[in-house]
């Protein structure tokens, strides 16, 4: 499994994180970041691309907001369990903490 989704032309890694503005149960969306991958991205001087979207129809979505954030500038995550399937801790970051 790769720890990033893409690279800039200069080779710098980029990780994409996306969330719905609001889930079907009315809860606000949030971004999930995994500690091991976040630390690798920081060491590589990488970036996150955060995307907030609203689904429509059966297969469409509208991008409402997007923002590039350097991994080193990410608001300090509160790490906790929940990332066991990835063998690492994770953090949930609120949309408002990014935008």
- Domain extents for the chain? 6-98
pTM: 0.86
- pLDDT by residue for the chain (99 residues), tens digit each? 577 879 899 999 999 999 999 998 999 999 999 998 999 999 999 999 999 999 988 889 999 999 999 999 998 778 887 655 666 789 999 999 999
For the chain, the average pLDDT equals: 90
Tens digits of per-residue pLDDT, 81-94? 765 566 678 999 99
| Interior/surface letters 10-34, b for 16+ CB within 10 angstroms, e for the rest | eeebbbebebbeeeeeeeebbbebb
């Amino acid at each position: 499994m790769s720890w990033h989704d893409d690279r800039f032309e200069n080779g710098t890694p980029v990780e994409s994180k996306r969330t719905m503005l609001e889930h079907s149960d009315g809860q606000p969306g949030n971004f999930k970041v995994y500690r091991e991958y976040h630390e690798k991205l920081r060491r590589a001087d990488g970036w996150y691309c955060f995307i907030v979207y609203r689904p429509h129809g059966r297969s469409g979505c509208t991008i409402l907001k997007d923002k590039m954030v350097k991994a080193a500038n990410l608001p300090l995550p509160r790490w906790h369990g929940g990332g066991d399937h990835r063998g690492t801790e994770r953090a949930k970051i609120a949309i408002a903490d990014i935008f």
